[in-house]
Structure 1
Amino acid sequence: MRNLIVILGDQLDMHSAAWADIDPADDAVWMAECASEATHVWSHKARIALFLAAMRHFRDALRERGLTVHYRELDAADDDGLVACLERDLERLKPRKLIVVEPGEWRLRSDFLHLQARLEGRIEVRLREDTHFMCSHDAFDTWMRGRRQPRMEHFYRRLRREYDLLMDGDAPRGGRWNFDHDNRAAFGRDGPPADLPPHRSFAPDTCTRDVLTLVAERFADHPGRLDHFDWPVTRAQALEALEDFIAHRLPRFGRWQDAMWDELPPHRAALYHARLSAALNLKLLDPREVCRAACDALDRGDAPLEAVEGFVRQILGWREYVRGLYWHRMPAHAEDNALDAQAELPAFYWTGDTDMNCLRGCLRDTLDTGYAHHIQRLMVTGLYALLLGVEPRQVHAWYLAIYVDAVEWVELPNVIGMSQWADGGIMASKPYIASGKYIERMSNYCASCRFRPGDTTGPRACPFTVLYWDFLDRHRERFADHPRLKLQVRNLDRRDAQELQQIRRQARKLRDA
């Protein structure tokens, strides 16, 4: 064997750098399902099933193209780690060269670098940069050079120009770079429009059903359910999902991308969101084609500019930006804890068993499907952990475990930097904090909740509101002169001293509980 090409579970890309010089006659592919990859965090059943089903379909697609694939299925693999499994197989397969596209986790990348050192002189190991992304490591590091406070907005504008997306010459299309102001509407009292379209779902085929049975048996004690599993697990299905979003939900995505609504069936719970992040992060879709599809809809007159810009910002802006920050700042980034948060993650995050209706609703949807849209993640589950003061690594481990689209390069910066502000302002200029009044304004969660978002004390005081004022109180000195938070601190100073003492007591009870 000339080359053995390692394909990881989130590298299911037929245009990967792994295939740059492949010769089917002399080269082979290696893939493995390892239980340790599902258990180093307590992964949602649907997350495990999505990875395994997509991997098996990709294996079959490679074999149909005439490639030799050495594939270890979960029930036959050892549990001592992916690289350990590979190292044992190298003794049997004896390739001259091992080709690996860099993993999406610092942990796995370190494991492969250590393997490279152990194999020196016996097998050449080549780690190739992942060309799936639109900004290389070198380009991002160059952009970061000399920036004390990097901002996604500036990075996003550079990539807009580089890829000529939503541009009129050197100017942004429509005369503005950012349409966020137009994209923050709530549904109002009547909820989503009656014609809210369902997302495109994919009935499990024989291969996927086998995986679902395996996961239900092997990981029975893991969180989440499998009976709503309808994710795209092949390239063809991912393209169908993209086409469905562009045609049916993109036109209204922008206006209502921040809105939330409770008690919707699973096939409509994502509202106008794309649900493409899992396919993108498995690399069944390319970010270039996703951005172009949205821009083409604008050119055809099928979607308004504010919707297309808001969506492109998610892919070209945030997705590329957090990936750049992850590799630029790791491994120290994982240890960030600027606010010295030390509380334990509440147990109800794994069960949804809480009286707070917004958290119960978001957690229920997450446990049912492995998915919640970005405002539910940032401004409900993430916000409560931030206000409560949960130790950031625990929050990170929960998000990595519970969402089907979670891969560490994208999940960790979003949680550590944006959601929990544990990096002290490198990723986001201020913490994303709000009281229960924000959730009331953007959703219907509060209408059927026993807590009142406007109450700061007493038996019906909303825990979000109590903890919001307590957060400002605990971090008063840090944010007293902050340009974007000092007004909120001044509002805190207007609170009656007796009321503030009661807020502190109620917040302490919430943390103790």
Structure 2
Amino acid sequence: MAELRSLVLVLGDQLDLQAAAFDDFDPATDAAWMAEVAEESRHVWSSKPRTAVFLAAMRHFASALQAAGRPLHYRRLDDPANAGSLAAQLRADLQRLRPARLVMTAPGDWRVLQALKDVAEESGLPLDVREDRHFFVTVREFAAHARGRKSLRMEFFYREQRQRHQVLMRDGQPEGGQWNFDADNRESFGAAGPGLVPPRLGFEPDAVTGEVIALVNARFASHPGRLQGFAWPVTREQALQALQDFVGHRLPLFGRYQDAMWPGEPWLYHSHIAAALNLKLLTPREVVAAAEAAFHAGDAPLASVEGFIRQILGWREYVRGIYWTRMPRYAELNALEAHEPLPAWYWTGATDMACLRDALTQTLDHGYAHHIQRLMVTGLYALMLGVQPQQVHAWYLAVYVDAVEWVELPNTLGMSQYADGGLMASKPYVATGKYIQRMSPYCKGCRYDPAQRVGERACPFTTLYWDFLMRHEAWLAGNPRMVLQVKNVARLTEAERDAIAERAAAIRRGEVGAA
């Protein structure tokens, strides 16, 4: 065997032929390495849709590498010699391949980076970890932005990036004269509903994806989720089609209805490209450019385009910076000292709360829910119930097809569960069931009444909202954005407090909410 100069490690969320790890790739002396391993579906109880997206995308990317003339060593999950984990598989393959060095693009998971570093060190091989230029902002640049700040608000970071990259800017000022168009966005559908929603662009599984679906159903039969109707983009070409379809058909109304929910309508006006972005089948630059071009062409209003671009250029880059500048300690934060277990029905959807049942069923069917279903339905309930944030994190990482730890962990622990004590969010996102009633018709078909906080018909969201304020009253009193809520809870009589606490205790015991 000819001497192997570089073994380029390619992870399941690094499916980019232009990645930095390939910069000096020479097919005569170098080779790529990829491995499907059970550990990546079992370190959290990964759902069938999430596992299938990763494996199908990896196998298609393996074909793209070979078509590009890049030698590849690929270990399939169903290979009898599969070692079961990335570290163990790499260790075994290094004994056979004996490269002079290892090269990789920086991964999106602290655990994986440490494991691969350990293998390289024990093997006595240099490991060249290269900057992931997929992103607009490097970790070093974000660290410079964060230096000296007690809190890290996305809005200030976002404005810096708009100016730096000249996105939606005109003569040094933001398009439209303002940075944020939330006042024009975030409406509900109203009583008439969403009407005729543009259909989701789905992709019929080809032979490769079909083989993966069969493998996942057999190998991970006990895992949550379903694969009937699997239609996610798993190739670069499909991802580009999905982007074009979103910009052409749903972006114009994205901003207006980005927070709206409707039973049985999982897709609405959202992009459905987060998984493709996080697998690196799309770049954020081409996504932002496509949205901005739609505005300049008059095909989408500024409010929708700005709201969408803020998610990509602002929020996505911001949470990555939080993750890599705060790990590994960030993963263990629990500022609210929440220790309740996650309800078992999060894994089944078996709840009699209409909003949660729909969000959970949709999640298990598709591996997808939009941001309000995550933040203000599943996340809100877990926060107010007092679930240990690490359990909430493990659930989100397991069930969503777009979940890679760098983006999922800060979103869950920081934004959703307030476990970082306010580093990311200026206040806990808590609300009664009336928020859900305002943004959807779920309450009309639910046995619970969002206007009631105690009694048999009291909405668990409403009960838990008041219970949350009572449990954290002293602490929340120091937060300027919670002053009104704290004043309201201070007006409760002792009898009212006791009744709320009793009802909340019944919810935590599982006597309320489970179907």
| TM-score, with length taken from structure 2 | 0.97
% identical equivalent positions: 58
Residue 64 (1) aligns with residue 61 (2): no
Residue 182 (1) aligns with residue 180 (2): no
> d(CA) in 1 for partners of 2:415 and 2:48?
26
In structure 1, the partner of 2:513 is none
CA shift for structure 1 position 14: 1.5
In structure 1, the partner of 2:221 is 220
1:473 equivalent among 460, 470, 475: 470
In structure 1, the partner of 2:338 is 341
> d(CA) in 1 for partners of 2:99 and 2:156?
45
> d(CA) in 2 for partners of 1:327 and 1:481?
29
Residue 376 (1) aligns with residue 380 (2): no
CA shift for structure 1 position 79: 4.3
CA shift for structure 1 position 169: 2.4
Give CA-to-partner distance per residue, 1:329-387, whole Å, 9 cap, x none. 00110011000001000000000001111100000000000000000000000000000
SS at match of 1:98: strand
2:358 equivalent among 344, 356, 361: 361
Counterpart contact for 1:36–1:79, Cα < 8 Å:
no
CA shift for structure 1 position 85: 0.4
> d(CA) in 2 for partners of 1:173 and 1:51?
38
Residue 439 (1) aligns with residue 436 (2): yes
In structure 2, the partner of 1:460 is 457
Residue 423 (1) aligns with residue 420 (2): yes
In structure 1, the partner of 2:144 is 142
Counterpart contact for 2:90–2:119, Cα < 8 Å:
no
Residue 301 (1) aligns with residue 298 (2): yes
Give CA-to-partner distance per residue, 1:220-274, whole Å, 9 cap, x none. 000000002100000000000000000000000000000000023xxxx220000
Return the letter of the residue paired with 1:446. C
Residue 114 (1) aligns with residue 140 (2): no
Return the letter of the residue paired with 2:16. D
> d(CA) in 1 for partners of 2:486 and 2:126?
58
SS at match of 1:28: strand
SS at match of 2:134: coil
Counterpart contact for 1:287–1:316, Cα < 8 Å:
yes
Counterpart contact for 2:75–2:82, Cα < 8 Å:
no
> d(CA) in 1 for partners of 2:364 and 2:461?
22
Give CA-to-partner distance per residue, 1:26-80, whole Å, 9 cap, x none. 1111100001111110001010000000000000011111111110000115344
- Which consecutive residues of structure 2, in runs of 5 or more, have no partner in the other structure? 511-515
SS at match of 2:481: coil
CA gap 1:335/1:130 in 2 versus in 1, 3 angstroms = same
In structure 2, the partner of 1:17 is 20
Return the letter of the residue paired with 1:41. V
SS at match of 2:321: helix
Task: Report the RMSD for the aligned CA atoms in angstroms.
Answer: 0.9
> d(CA) in 2 for partners of 1:149 and 1:34?
38
| TM-score, with length taken from structure 1 | 0.97
1:125 equivalent among 124, 127, 131: 127
**Pairs within 5 Å for 1:196-215:** 196-215=197-216
> d(CA) in 1 for partners of 2:365 and 2:71?
37
SS at match of 1:485: helix
Return the letter of the residue paired with 1:25. A
Counterpart contact for 1:291–1:315, Cα < 8 Å:
yes
Give CA-to-partner distance per residue, 1:124-178, whole Å, 9 cap, x none. 2211121111100110111111111111001001111111000012211101101
Q: Give the count of matched residue pairs.
A: 506
1:85 equivalent among 69, 89, 94: 89
CA shift for structure 1 position 479: 1.0
